[in-house]
Amino acid sequence: MAKRDYYEVLGVSRTADFEEIKKAYRKLAVKFHPDKNPGDHTAEERFKELGEAYEALNDPQKRAAYDQYGHAAFDPRQRSSRGGGFHDPMDIFREVFGGGGGGSIFETFFGGGDRSGPQRGDDLRYDLEITLEDAAAGCEREISVSKLDKCETCGGSGAEKGSGVKTCQTCGGRGQVMMSRGIFSIAQTCPQCKGHGRILEKPCKSCHGEGRREHSSKIKLKIPPGVDAGTRLRSSGNGEAGFRGGSSGDLYVILHVKAHEIFQRDGDDLHCEVPVSFIQAALGAEIEVPTLEGKAAIKIPAGTQSGAVFRVKGKGVKNLQGYGHGDLHARIQVEVPTRLTHEQKAKLQEFAALCDGHEAPLAQSFFEKAKKFFR
């Protein structure tokens, strides 16, 4: 099959400068790189074709020869006289992306770090259950967390005192070794140093060279007022210790609020149900309702119906961002007596005889609607 024009392969014009050519190659090389297209032979061929075109057009002498003679400028039969020929397209890829000694696209282009240097410790999660009162008012808690802390014997170095570390001879300190697969080279973790790039001369006997040991730590937490279920608190530096002098991770405490016997929370507002007697609802009364801080008095007018809601301003939960307090919403539940004496029954029957139906507006309205429905 005839080779395609190198300018066409890279998608650039014949007047493109070297920066345009490099930019075009970078974009297409990432798209067709074998690491991103495993098992795709078409992508593999496109990647090799891109490398061939870039090598020819990125070199001023080779580009001039190609512009004058086309593909014949690189005829294998004439390589000995011109010193031409193409190289591994992975070498070109590494040159363009600054990969140095090679590796996969994810190491050279996306910046894989040096695993032999300091590494930050892992973050940890702790689930803590508190009461609604504690969530509303704020509190302090001391929790016990079992985690990997810096080894006290070696100070986190992993080495016995007086000893040090040496460069791994297998990988030369890179932490990776190259495995060749055909024309491609793939970086793998060094089996000797486990990717650290260094080997301890004398591992610490306490932590066996890890630099960290399991330890139970007591941590004090200050929980601000207004937190709710799902609130996440960060305790900086109280995660697991880092590797080789790296910083510690953080501890994230997830709060869970116990269900309350009286109150239900809705944002910064609280809701509760308050039972009142039939007499209080009928005649009106001043009653006390519970709050998180004690009691509050509310007046209910005569004829209050079950389900009526009264708001007690400012008796909810303090806003976490400091925007005041929520409200308490008291929902009235009218209680019906379940056990009556003969005298009480007689009085109620006497009261019923005095009623002409106007004392129960809800019932009157309902039955009027029902009559229209059944007509």
* Cβ-contact 119, 168 below 8 angstroms: no
Tokens matching residue 173: 């300190």
Taken in order 22, 26, 32, 37, is the CA torsion positive or negative? positive
Beta strand 176-181 with 232-235 is unpaired
| pLDDT per residue as tens, the chain (375 positions) | 567 899 999 999 988 888 889 889 988 988 888 777 877 888 888 888 988 889 889 888 888 888 877 877 776 544 434 444 445 555 555 555 555 433 443 333 333 444 545 778 899 999 999 999 999 999 999 999 999 898 888 888 888 888 878 888 888 887 788 776 655 667 788 887 877 777 888 888 888 888 888 889 999 999 999 999 999 999 999 999 987 778 899 999 999 999 999 999 999 999 999 999 989 999 999 999 999 999 999 999 999 999 999 999 999 999 988 889 999 999 999 998 888 999 999 998 898 888 765 556 666 666 676 676 666
Residue 28 and residue 89 in contact, taking contact as beta carbons nearer than 8 Å = no
Which of 283, 328, 287 has its CA nearest to residue 304? 283
R_g over Cα of the chain: 39
Q: What DSSP designation does 346 have?
A: H
What would the DSSP string read from start to end of 180-239? Answer: EETTEEEEEE-TTTTTSSEEESSB-TTTTTSSEEEEEEEEEEEEPTT--TT-EEEETT-S
Q: Which amino acid is at 87?
A: H
Cα gap 94→359, rounded to integer Å: 91
What is the spatial distance between Cα 165 and Cα 158, in angstroms, rounded to a whole number? 9
Kind of pairing between the strands at 165-167 and 198-200: antiparallel
Residue 348 CB partners (closer than 8 Å, separation 6+): 340
Measured distance CA(172)–CA(325) in Å, rounded: 63
Three-class secondary structure of residue 8 per DSSP: helix
- Residue 133 CA to residue 225 CA, distance in Å, equals 9
The angle, 0 to 180 degrees and rounded to 10, between the axes of the packed helices 89-97 and 18-32 is 120
pTM above 0.95, yes or no: no
| SS3 (DSSP) at 63 | helix
What does residue 53 show for φ and ψ, rounded to 5 degrees? -65, -40
**According to the model, what pLDDT value does residue 110 have?**
35
Structure tokens at 227: 């937190």
Q: What is the pLDDT of residue 161?
A: 85
> Phi/psi zone of residue 324: left (φ > 0), alpha (ψ -120 to 50 degrees), beta?
left
Instruction: State residue 83's pLDDT score.
Output: 43
